[in-house]
A and B are shown apart, each in its own frame.
Chain A
Amino acid sequence: MKQITVTDLSFSYEQDGKSKPILNHINLQFEKGQFVAVLGHNGSGKSTFAKHLNAILLPKEGTVLVDGIDTKDEEMTFTIRQKVGMVFQNPDNQLVATVVEEDVAFAPENLGVPPEEIRKRVDDALEAVGMSSRRLSAPHELSGGQKQRVAIAGIIAMRPECIVMDEPTAMLDPHGRRRVLAAVKVLKEQYGITVILITHFMSEAVLADRVVVLSDGEVLLDGTPRQVFSQGKILTDAGLELPQVTKTAELLKAQGVPIKGVPLTVEEFADAFYQALEG
């Protein structure tokens, strides 16, 4: 089932009287329950694209439909924002309240959900991201990764159908990054929420069901991680790197080691390398 349909989306910023194109005729569709990674280097328009998915920005040209609702429909803005939650890069700048559980309650409170139901949702959301034990802490007492998980819980409590994450791990240390990605997995598996992860970490894109590569405001590649990462040349030209193991395999292949396929994880690489040595 199509959840988000982006048709011929174009967007540009006005700068010094000139219009600076950011997005250029983008056509994409996102299926319900899919985990999609959107890759792109800085300035590829990936953040601008993300902000179109929940009516924070409105298209200059083309349309974005969420469950068939046009994001330009002003009366439906809050319905769309409830359906498509958004998590940003800096965890500090998205927490509103002085207590973790109050912050998680913020969105359902805005939506006018009855108090008992909010309580249930908050406990549930904090449980899902593994932050129940810190529910009475103040945000400044938490680490970056913990804050980001609270931010995710704050979105889960809204009961969205889709979560768009704009580089949620960019400011975190490796440990925080792992815990946040684990929370993302829960979203997908337990809640069946569609996840659109904007990132420039190849290792995160590998986890997705589908990878979309944006470059200069256009869709460059779109497919499964394996399909996308076998296009090493195109990715490098767009200023993106291959995942570490994939790159190592490519380099070995160039040296004449007969590695088959495109390994995306360390395990896959180990198997392929072992087979290459055996054969």
Chain B
Amino acid sequence: MRASGGKSGVTPMLKNITIGQYFRGDSPIHRMDPRLKLILVIAYIVLLFVASGIVGMLLCLAAAVAFYLIARVPLKMIVKSLKPIIPIILFTAILNAFFVEGDVLFSWWIFTVSKQGVLFAIVMTLRLIALIAGSSLLTYTTSPIQLTDGLELLMSPLKKIHFPAHELAMMMTIALRFIPTLIEETGKIMNAQKARGADLETGGLMQRIKALVPILIPLFISAFRRADELAIAMECRCYHGGEGRTRMKKLTFHLVDLWGLLVMAALFVGILTAVHFIPPITF
């Protein structure tokens, strides 16, 4: 771990993690209601698991690419969002290739690779790629605040069974609000401890983990103090939970949402029919 903190060293990192996910834009996909977008993403994931075979997956992936083009989000963002999960994709693919039984393609020692295994591995890989690409598009085209609003409203029927929908959304908002603040603070504490001679860069794993203690303790103490002050400030602004609360921005469905719904429905029918009629790819 590089210990260089400070604003310059830390802020770009944070932009990659959370807030930088969102691409400001004005495409039809950006303008769609976050609630509908959430539902459509779930529908897309369902479709990924219902449609089978390489043809189905390729069609789903093509649809995802088309959505990226409509949203004017650069396609290289798909690659970027895939990077962290490449090991998982490879692991799944290799595991499937070796363990699915069928017509033996070749075998060596205790390992056998079957034809079905290879096909299944390809389908799984494509499915995972489409899954990540599709769900990333949601965060690329929806601001965190819209996302939390959407989640809160979608979950609000669950309030009847005492599910804390508003509280969860509030927690998400506050977390999003304070991540940059705390990251900046971590940088400051690291610098302060380095100025006092803390060694964060050398030594074995255990030593480095131990070196984190003098950073985490002040960070936690400060976070608790912040929480306390924020709670008082929220009380001063008459916060008393979700009851009787109104919102400045009301979410409403527009024509673009209807189109979104129709496109997804068409995709469902189209891809499932295509999979049914196009013979599965084999070799």
Give the B-binding residues of A (Cβ under 8 A): 51, 54, 56, 78, 81-82, 85-86, 88, 90, 92-99, 101-102, 105-115, 118-119, 122, 138-140, 151, 154-155, 158
Contact = CB atoms under 8 A, between A and B. Distances in A.
Given A96-B237, A97-B145, 11 more contacts: A88-B233, A92-B226, A93-B230, A94-B230, A96-B177, A106-B239, A109-B245, A110-B238, A115-B250, A118-B248, A138-B19
Contact of A139 (B143, B177, B245): B177
Given A95-B177, A96-B234, A110 B239 contact: yes
B235 A81 contact: yes
Given A109-B247, A112-B244, A155 B177 contact: no
A78 B238 CA distance: 6
Given A93-B229, A118-B246, A98 B236 contact: no
Please indicate which of the listed interface residues B19, B225, B235, B240 has the most CB atoms of chain A within 10 Å of its own CB. Answer: B235
Interface residues of B, number: 31
Contacts of A158: 237-238
B247 to A, nearest CB: 6
B245 A98 contact: no
Contacts of A105: 247-248
19 contacts: A54-B236, A56-B232, A86-B236, A90-B229, A93-B226, A96-B173, A96-B233, A96-B237, A97-B145, A98-B19, A109-B245, A110-B238, A111-B238, A113-B246, A115-B250, A119-B248, A139-B177, A139-B181, A151-B233
Contacts of A86: 233, 236
A106 B233 CA distance: 11
B19 A88 contact: no
B250 to A, nearest CB: 5
A138 B250 CA distance: 20
